[in-house]
Amino acid sequence: MSTPVRVRFAPSPTGPLHIGGVRTALYNYLFARKMGGQMLLRIEDTDQNRFVPGAEEYILEALRWVGIEIDEGQGVGGPHAPYRQSERRDIYQKEAQRLVAEGKAYYAFDTAEELDAMRKRLEEANAPAAQYNSITRLQMSNSLTMKAEEVQARMDAGDPFVIRLKTPRKEEVRLNDLIRGWVNVHSSAIDDKVLLKSDGLPTYHLANIVDDHLMGITHVIRGEEWLPSAPLHVLLYRYLGWEDTMPQFAHLPLLLKPEGNGKLSKRDADLGGFPIFPLQWTDPATGQVAKGFREDGYLPEATVNFLALLGWNPGTEQELFTMDELIASFDIAQVHKAGARFDIQKAQWFNHQYIRQVADDVLAPTVQQQAEAAGYDCSLEKATKIVALLKGRVNFAREIVTEAGTIFNAPTTYDEAITAAKWNDDAVRAVTAFRDALLPFDGEFVADAIKHTLSNAMQQAGIKQGKIMQAMRLALTGTGAGPDLMLTMEIIGKDETIGRLEKALSTLKSPVN
């Protein structure tokens, strides 16, 4: 029987979750669901200096907003609680001490000044890598160079110390990444990383490996920025005696700038005026506000669809996917190696596709509110009709009210080019005939009936309807193009329709021809 798939999303609460982090969580989720496995959420908060209040809540809310369901972990609970690393320090200390006892790690007492001096010395000697490693450790203050009594004495005196990994001098470290294939590194390229810090807390590397092992993680799916650490992690699994249950790795491609060159940055977002965070974030220290996809009007379905295709596609033409369809089609082996261009216009296109699918009465209350905030009189019924008329023409729900300007406001000016081209004798006759046909109209003023009235009036006047429609639109809205005109008239109502036709007749007066 094969082990059930267990993946984890393991963010650090150092600020708002980056949209790339949401994509990482999403790929983990899609993979877990596809494989009938489970998705865990672990909070990696062992770096106390970088802890930001509110960040953990933000992460939970962002995942909830995009519809990623956590099976186990922070906020949900489960058999491996606690899921916040800062609450698991005893577990890491035990493993770090075990490594020391087994000769795979050691205590180091070097002060910041001593470490600096070593780095300078090595740099001056043009050493290939100025780092603490299998060679340089022999000149430093650690339990490999000091006598046992001296080590004990320094500990008894309360001298701060760390535990470092005793990296082997000559060993091949290999891993088979599910996306990138084989990665080989020689252990001489790996330094003696600190595993346990002087405050007794583990570093990311130790805590991450210990937890992935104890929590039964089978696949580690994370951003490319962690690929350089992966060989160290393989070494840690080996030293901890857990290599045979080591998870498989999959390192996801970087998100690139909209122009496609270089890593996407906060600066790109500021310059382009687009969000790179799922939700709006107010920095608790500076009060600075960063834009969020949610607050900018993106629907969660559109955000998910956009993110899913940043670095993966199923190899077909299909672009629109519900979460269930993504789960059914997702294949981790199809994730690209090359970085994915963060094309915000594509995100807008997705939003356009999803906005038009939202039921009219769902969008209507917001549109009503926005219309009233803009000073228009708008019943819920009217808002619902406006949504039906315009939702297919916008990228964001808030644009509906803007687009509805020609509905709420009678024209005060008329497009000059359209006037010159289309406001002719036939146009005047047509508008007059239509106005006359509307005056006695006493049925229900709905699109179908209006259409009927118009075509009858044109027939009687002997005017080809196709030739005067733009002039009719000009008279009603002042513009040459827009949404369905019959529905537009239905929404503005009979009296307003007649009023606008009359105003056009008097304002535009006789055509020049």
Binding-site residues for ATP sit at 266
Residues 19-58 that bind ligand GLU (CB under 6 A): 44
Using the rule CB under 6 A, is 12 a contact of ligand GLU? yes
Distances (CA, A) of 321 to 38, 67, 316: 22, 14, 12
Stretch that binds ligand GLU, among 6-14, 109-117, 335-343, 408-416 (CB under 6 A): 6-14
Residues 175-204 that bind ligand GLU (CB under 6 A): 204
Pairing of strands 194-196, 181-186: unpaired
Q: In whole angstroms, how close is the CB of 304 to ligand GLU at the nearest point?
A: 20
Choice among 94, 120, 266, 464 that is catalytic: 266
Which has the closest alpha carbon to 34: 302, 326, 250, 312?
Answer: 326
Answer yes or no: 170 catalytic.
no
Question: In the set 7, 11, 173, 453, which binds ligand GLU (CB under 6 A)?
Answer: 11
Annotated binding-site residues read 266
Q: Is residue 187 classed as helix, strand or coil in its secondary structure?
A: helix
Q: In this structure, are residues 190 and 157 in contact, taking their beta carbons and an 8 Å threshold?
A: no
Using the rule CB under 6 A, is 251 a contact of ligand GLU? no
Number of amino acids touching ligand GLU (CB under 6 A): 9
Using the rule CB under 6 A, is 483 a contact of ligand GLU? no
Using the rule CB under 6 A, is 208 a contact of ligand GLU? yes
Structure tokens at 43: 């909070």
Residues 210-249 that bind ligand GLU (CB under 6 A): 220, 222, 226
Of 46 and 395, which CB lies nearer to ligand GLU in the complex structure?
46
Instruction: Report the sign of the C-alpha dihedral through residues 26, 28, 30, 33, in that order.
Output: negative
Tell me the Ramachandran region of residue 417: left when phi exceeds 0, alpha when psi lies from -120 to 50, beta otherwise. alpha
Stretch that binds ligand GLU, among 5-13, 121-129, 133-141, 497-505 (CB under 6 A): 5-13
Q: What are phi and psi of 176, to 5 degrees?
A: -105, 95
Using the rule CB under 6 A, is 164 a contact of ligand GLU? no
Q: Name the DSSP class of 15.
A: S
Using the rule CB under 6 A, is 253 a contact of ligand GLU? no
Of 10 and 185, which CB lies nearer to ligand GLU in the complex structure?
10
Of 213 and 385, which CB lies nearer to ligand GLU in the complex structure?
213
Q: Is 111 exposed, middle or buried, given 0-12, 13-18 or 19+ CB atoms closer than 10 A?
A: exposed
- C-alpha torsion angle, residues 473, 479, 485, 491 (rounded to 10): -110
Residues 322-351 that bind ligand GLU (CB under 6 A): none
Q: In whole angstroms, how close is the CB of 45 to ligand GLU at the nearest point?
A: 9
- DSSP secondary structure string, 84-129? BGGG-HHHHHHHHHHHHHTTSEEEE---HHHHHHHHHHHHHTT-S-
Contact residues for ligand GLU, defined by CB under 6 A = 10-12, 44, 204, 208, 220, 222, 226
Give the catalytic positions in this structure.
266
